[in-house]
Amino acid sequence: MIQKWFFLGLIICVFGCKSVDKKSIVRIPNIEKKETEIPSRIPFKDTVTAKKDANGYLVGIANRFDFQDSAYKEWFDSRYEEYTTNKQVVNEISKHIHQLTIKVFMGTWCGDSRREIPGFYKILDETAFDVNYLQLIGVDRSKKYDDYEKDLTIFRVPTIIFLKNGKEIGRFVEYPKETIEKDFLKIVSGQSYKHSYVDYK
């Protein structure tokens, strides 16, 4: 009886460990994946060009380090430090904002820009937003700067435009309807939102 089970086990082992005949393999054709036609999230690669104009206003492509110039540092740093965000709202913003690119038009001569832009940067910092996907443009009082405002209808600053796959999903204009982070959350999460000048022509 023991010998019977021994030979049975030996047969199972031999045939069970047998390599598979290559001819018996069913080959699955290599189906090439079709790439999505939706544009990817592309970082801005503009060179920083911002300079002070004759009036001392910052004009051109800028970044936050430009605000460390003595002409702007005091109001930028003080407003940044004094602005307290709603952490719960910022956490919700963080769930959506990393899919987006942001384009900002602001004026260092503008009281609204001086009030909102430092808080805007604080929200970006707290969401760990990659600033390679942010383009900030300093404008003069004419609110014109080359082709960067083309087809965007910039009539008040600051104007903060949120884009997904290259298309605008909403914008913040001049001042918040509630708070800057609550307004941002509505935009980035796809909720209904109308800025204060939506009917302006």
Rounded-to-integer distance, Cα 141 and Cα 109, Å: 8
pLDDT of residue 142: 81
Strand 159-164 relative to strand 51-52, pairing: unpaired
Rounded-to-integer distance, Cα 165 and Cα 57, Å: 32
Q: What is the pLDDT of residues 5-34, one digit of tens each?
A: 445 454 444 444 444 444 444 444 443 444
- Name the pTM for this structure: 0.78
CA distances from residue 78 to 74, 85, 131, 141, 169 in whole angstroms, order as listed: 6, 15, 21, 24, 31
Q: What is the pLDDT of residues 43-90, one digit of tens each?
A: 888 788 899 999 999 999 999 999 999 999 999 999 999 999 999 999
- For the chain, domains (ranges, CATH) are 51-188 (3.40.30.10)
CA distances from residue 145 to 7, 176, 198 in whole angstroms, order as listed: 89, 24, 22
Q: How many CB atoms lie within 10 A of CB 135?
A: 21
